[in-house]
Structures are given as C-alpha cells and as structure tokens.
Structure 1
Amino acid sequence: MTKKQAPQPPRPGLTPRTVVDAALRLLDDKGLEAVTVRGVADLLGVRMNTVLWHIKSKTRLLELMADAIVGTITCEDLPADPRHRARELMHRYRRALLTHRDGAALVTGTYAAEPHTLRFADTLLRALTDREPAAARAARTLYALVYFTLGLTQEQQAMSETDEDRFREAVTTGPYPALRAALDALAADPFDARFTDGIDRILD
C-alpha cells in the first residue's frame, strides 16, 4: 500500500487567486466539465497537491470561481428608484454570467457564501426592501429573480444551433395543441427579450 502523498507547500507566486484565474481560463477554453484540480494543475505546470494546498478541494475551487464571477459586478452608479435598481442589478448579474462559458451552470451548482456573492445579494435585497419593507417577501423576490436568471442563462449557454429547429419539429408533429398554438410566440423572443420580460414580471 502506498502512503498518501501530503499536499506540497505553496509555490512562490502561486496564490488562491492565481489558481482561480487559471480555473476560469480553463472554463472558458474547455467548459465546465473540463474544470478539475488536475486540469488546473496541468495548466499552471504544478502538481495537483500544490493546487490543493491553496483551494483544498474541487468543490471549494468551484465556489471560489463562482464568487469571482459575481465579483466582477459593480454595485456603484445604481438608479435611485428601488425597482430600477433591482432591475439594473439583475442585468449586471446576467452579463457577468454570460462573460464566461458555462458561467450560469457553474454558479448554479455552487452555494458560495463568499464575500462577493454576499455583497451582491445584500445590495439586491436592500433594493427590494426599499420597495417592500417585509423582509420575507423581499427575500422570496430575491430568490425568484436569481433562480429565474440562472435558469434562463444556463439554457441560453447550453443551447445549440439546432435546438430551436428540434423544438419546433417536436411541437408541430406531436400531441401538444397548446404549445402548437403558441409556437410562434414561444420561439419569437430572443433570450434578451425573455430575460427583460421575466424580470419585469417578477418585480411587478
């Protein structure tokens, strides 16, 4: 039986931030499935244990990556009106997700109680409580906004060029009368329009 190798001490110049940056490069180049501790180590030219010294586990790596994506969102220069402020924050959130390949899938798959994520959530919740002082109602609105945005953006990033044609064919040839009647409306709006409409409906 071989003895389990202990994590190697940190390489000079290597930090958790540089590990996360390398992981985000790997994400953009090859997609979420390719993001592994070994893949990041190979990209950095170090051993896996050197990477683990900084980030402890793949789960922790994904959490830090998700928080880094949310950390690109600026919470300055927001509208004074609470509704417009919340709307603008969600547009910024979606743009941050779209900046990285599989960005929405990455963030959806984590529970990142990290500084950037918490700062964004706090800013959004303050906008919502300025509209609706009841904390429970504002919290549920926050969940609705975030979950809607993650789901829509994940679908957008996963959609291939042929998916819409497959959808149309399945609806028109199958026993789906309600879908068939609304097919043009369902397929007409691009994702940007669907997003704006959904956010407005939730906030209204």
Structure 2
Amino acid sequence: MPRDTLTADRIVRAAIELLDEEGLDGLNMRSLAKRLGSAATAVYWHIKTKDDLVRLAGDAIWHEVEAPDLAATDWRTAAAAHAGAMHAMLTRHPWLVQAFGSHLLHGPGQARHNDLSLAIYEKAGFAAADADRAAATVFTFVLGSALGPAAQVSLNRRLSKNSADAEQLMADAMTRATETAMQFPRLRERLDTTAAKDYASAPDHTFAFGLQSVLDGFEARLTADRAGRSG
C-alpha cells in the first residue's frame, strides 16, 4: 500500500485491533505495517514511535464511553451509566489498563471523559474540590475492577506463547492455590460451595455492588452536608 494512502486514523484503528488481539507486547511497527499492507517506514511517516501509537490508540477508545445527557437525567443515573460504560470499554480493551502503568496517556478523548465526570459530581451538589475527589474515587474503583480481568487476559496470552500446555499450567496453579486456601476457615467454607475454577474470580455482580455502594456513600455525604448547612 503506498504511503500516501495511509492516514494516522487508519493506523490507529489497526493498532487498536492488534492491541486487542496481542496486547501491548504484541504491538510493533512491523506487525502493524503487515496488517495495513504497507511498509514499516510508511507507518513511521505518520506516527513516529510506539509510545505515540499507544497514546493515540488509548485516547481513541475513550470515545467509546457513551456520555449521558446531564440535562435529561439525575446525577446518580448519569454517574452509574458513565462508570458502567467506562468499565465496559476497559473490559473490551484490557491492554489500556496495563498501559496506565507503562505509558503517558493523554488526549481529547480522555479529557472529555474527565470533564464529564466532574460535571456529574458538580451536578450532584459537590463543591469543585469534592467533585474532583468523587470523580477520582469512581475512576479508581472502575480501573481496579477492570484490573483482574485484564491481568487474566495478559497471563493467558503469555502462558499460551511460552508453554505448549498452558491449560495444564493453569490447572496446576489452581490446585496449589486451592490447597493453600483450604488452610483458612473462611476460604475453605467458600471452596466447599464454589467450583474450584471460579475460586480466583470475583463473585457475580461485584462491580454493580461496589459502584452502588460508592454512590450510596456519596449520596449520604451530600445529605449530611445539606443537613449541616440548614442546621
């Protein structure tokens, strides 16, 4: 493919597809160029470094997070929808969770998300400083909730590449982890009622439970603050 048929946008979309399939370690300019039917030098003409490519790809997928209409809904419904959409995006693209710890990520997509988060918690009634804290709290919770699945995807990929029998390695590790857990009463009780393969997984509805609890806390704080001002 001639260089002038490439665009930065096409390169970024192809990079996202490659990242979804291979993770951060699988992204390199040669593999990306092959996917695009081009030469690596043509890719470098548009995007200079792998770090730039990860930054651009990471920012592009923030646009997948649907923005609730704050004029048409209450703050709590908007907060739940926005957090849920962010969690779904991170689940679709688990490499972004890892990229937070290895790349400098910024851009208009992420800025749009951050600005909307602040607007949601300002609408709730928080002063600016506390809106910052509320937005950061929810972001940290969502990111932490997505970390486990992202780590599992990365581990499965690494084991599959480095071992002829990744499934057996996982089974052996789970057996050893279960044997260790059986030494502790509360873990043993749960293992008696939970399939061993689900031992390392978060319980069903953990994200919804946690998010509701966080928003309950915000609502209680706002109610207490209003009572204090009126008193």
Higher gyration radius (CA): 2
Distance 1:22 1:12 in 2: 16
Alignment of structure 1 residues 112-127 onto 2, 5 Å: 112-127=105-120
Work out whether 1:155 is the aligned partner of 2:165.
no
Change (3 A) 1:109 1:128: farther
Counterpart selection for 1:74 from 47, 66, 75: 66
Alignment of structure 1 residues 124-135 onto 2, 5 Å: 124-135=117-128
SS at match of 2:64: coil
User: Can you give the 5+ residue segments of structure 2 that lack an aligned partner in the other structure?
Assistant: 157-169, 218-231
Work out whether 1:172 is the aligned partner of 2:190.
no
Distance 1:153 1:63 in 2: 19
User: Can you give the 5+ residue segments of structure 1 that lack an aligned partner in the other structure?
Assistant: 1-9
Change (3 A) 1:130 1:101: closer
1:176-199 deviation line (CA, Å, top 9, x unaligned): 667667777995984661211222
Distance 2:174 2:76 in 1: 33
Structure 2 letter corresponding to 1:12: D
Over the aligned positions, Cα root-mean-square deviation in angstroms equals: 3.1
Structure 2 letter corresponding to 1:17: D
Query: Is residue 55–residue 61 contact of structure 1 (8 Å, CA) maintained in 2?
Result: yes
Q: Relative to total residues, which structure has the larger helix share, 1 or 2?
A: 2
Greater shift, 14-23 or 99-108, is seen at 99-108
Query: Is residue 102–residue 154 contact of structure 1 (8 Å, CA) maintained in 2?
Result: no
Distance 1:165 1:140 in 2: 41
Counterpart selection for 1:64 from 56, 62, 67: 56
Distance 2:17 2:200 in 1: 34
Counterpart selection for 1:26 from 18, 22, 26: 18
Greater shift, 126-135 or 37-46, is seen at 37-46
SS at match of 2:212: helix
Distance 1:122 1:21 in 2: 24
Structure 2 letter corresponding to 1:104: V
CA shift, 1:90, in A, is 0.6
Change (3 A) 1:22 1:196: same
SS at match of 1:71: helix
Structure 2 letter corresponding to 1:44: L
Same amino acid, percent of matched pairs: 30
1:116-160 deviation line (CA, Å, top 9, x unaligned): 111111111100111133222211221221122122212113226
Distance 1:123 1:35 in 2: 31
Query: Is residue 66–residue 107 contact of structure 1 (8 Å, CA) maintained in 2?
Result: no
TM-score, scaled to structure 1: 0.78
Change (3 A) 1:51 1:166: farther
Work out whether 1:87 is the aligned partner of 2:80.
yes
Counterpart selection for 1:195 from 196, 207, 210: 207
